[in-house]
Amino acid sequence: MKIIFKNEDNSIGIITPSDEALSFATIEQIAEKDVPYNLPYWIVEDLVIPENRTFRSAWEIDESLGKPTGFGGESNEFDDDLLKAYYGELKWVCFLWAVWEMR
């Protein structure tokens, strides 16, 4: 699965979530985090993306995909609860402490 979206300059953005990210987040959570704020996105099968990248700058989103799956969120970070579940409570506290110390 891939996430596709139309940038403000009408170019097409494509996100391929990593297996690691998909191990703790849904593809929708990844899309909301990584798609620029308020831009529509679609979650599509890999086969929807053309293999030939020669004319990639001319790609368009097929209107037959229908309404967007969602829109990019305000934050480019996963929420704390999701990260705590992934890293574990103790590692998460240590991570936050390290970030605070670097300020």
Give pLDDT, residue 47.
87
Give pLDDT, residue 86.
77
Give pLDDT, residue 89.
61
Q: What is the mean pLDDT of each run of 10 residues along the chain (103 residues)?
A: 92 92 92 95 90 80 88 86 73 72 73
Give pLDDT, residue 90.
56
- Token readout for 20 is 């690691």
d(CA 68, CA 40): 6
Half-sphere exposure of 42 (CA within 13 A, CB side): 19
